[in-house]
Structures are given as structure tokens and as C-alpha cells.
Amino acid sequence: MKLMCNIAVIVFSILLSSCVQREKRYYLTDVDKEMIPYKIGDTIYCRDEKRTQRILTVKHISMDWDGWEDLILEQYQTMSVQTEQNDFGLTLRVFGWNFGYLNQRAIQIIHSSNLQLDVVYNATGDFTTSASPHTTSKRFVLDSLSIVDRTYYNVAVYQHYDYVDSKTSEVYYNKTHGVLQMKKKGKTVFTLDSIVFAKNR
């Protein structure tokens, strides 16, 4: 009986040890943190789907961990950019591991209209591209893009085609101004006017 207990303890220790050894933690890097240009106190002037000007402020930034199959823990940062009434805005989330098996990371962008699109980049902070006739999505990078008489550079574009209603949702994003424009099923729901960066950055 004592021998069986000793064997059980040894087996349990080996299993526990193997679990601990297999767990991996992926922290946000400095590159990840720089992919979202907003900081607490920044003010973002933009237009909604009715072309009404909205004023958003960066209200909340948090860091947390998420688990994946109990083996991988990824750190992520969430940022809330909202109007004073909280009736319009964006939530941005950057992950320390997302798509890690492809050496790719992602910025998840959620518009208050429940539109969610992702911008993908690599470990050095370069936006990545992908396009296939067999998929409903396309990612590419523009050297420059003009939106409402303003020119932006190094713009990541993600387009998602919905076969159900035959319409495309899009996001335009760069590292200096963040979200430039979002379209939900062909309808523009967010257009950046300007950003006033906080003085205490």
C-alpha cells in the first residue's frame, strides 16, 4: 500500500512538472504597446455615420491576461475611447501573442455599432498583408491615403466581405493616428477629423 502511494505521488509530481514546463507566457513588447497611439487624456475628433462631429477621449487603459487551452497565457492591453455620454466610440485591444503561431499579432478594433475588425502586424511592428480569392477577407498596406483632405502614410487596410448581404466592412489604420476610418457593410461609421494629444505624454 505504501509503495502504491509513493508511485502515485511520483506520477502526480511528474504530471504537475510537465504542466508547469509547458505553460508559456507572452508579454506585450514595446512594439505592441506602440501600435496604438492613444494615451490617457488624448482627445479625438471624428464623424459618425450621419457626419455629426463626435468628441472622444481616452478614458480607460487596462492590462490583463488571457488563457488559451491552459497552456498559453497572453498579456493584452485594452483601451476605451468614448464620448462623454458613452454612446459612441471605440475599444481597441492589442495582444502579446495573438496569431503567435504565424509570428503575427493583432489589434482588435471594436466600434460601438458592434463592428469588429482586426489589423495584423508582425513582431517588428510592420503591418502584414494577405489576399486570396478563396477567403472573404483581404489585408493590404497603402503607402498613403487621403481621407477628407488629409493625407496619412503607411496605412493598414482590412476588408471583410459578407456573402449574406454582399457588402464589405473595412478599417483603415496607421500607427501615428490610429483608426482613420471604419465602414460597416459599405456604410461609413467612423471618420477621423483630428487628434489633440495630451500635454503630459
What pLDDT digit, counting tens, does each position of 3-52 carry?
A: 455 455 454 555 555 545 567 888 899 999 999 999 999 999 999 999 99
Query: Which segments within the chain are labelled E, that is strand?
Result: 24-26, 43-47, 53-68, 72-82, 89-95, 104-111, 116-122, 130-131, 137-147, 150-162, 167-174, 178-184, 187-196
Q: Note the pLDDT of residue 35.
A: 94
122-136 pLDDT, tens digit per residue, is 888 999 888 666 668
180-198 pLDDT, tens digit per residue, is 999 999 999 999 999 998 8
Q: How confident is the model at residue 163 (pLDDT cuts 50, 70, 90)?
A: confident
Tell me the pLDDT of the chain averaged across its residues: 85
The Cα–Cα gap between 155 and 145 comes to: 7
Q: Note the pLDDT of residue 130.
A: 82
Q: Note the pLDDT of residue 134.
A: 61
Cell representation of residue 164: 449574406
Q: Note the pLDDT of residue 91.
A: 95
173-182 pLDDT, tens digit per residue, is 999 999 999 9
The Cα–Cα gap between 128 and 166 comes to: 25
Cell representation of residue 199: 500635454
What number of residues does the chain have?
201
Cell representation of residue 177: 493616428
User: What average pLDDT does this structure show over 45-70?
Assistant: 90
User: What average pLDDT does this structure show over 81-109?
Assistant: 84
Strand partners, 118: 108
- Angle (nearest 5°) at CA 138 between 135 and 143: 165
Q: Is the dihedral of CA 85, 40, 63, 34 positive or negative?
A: positive
Nearest CA to 52 out of 194, 196, 191, 195 is that of 191
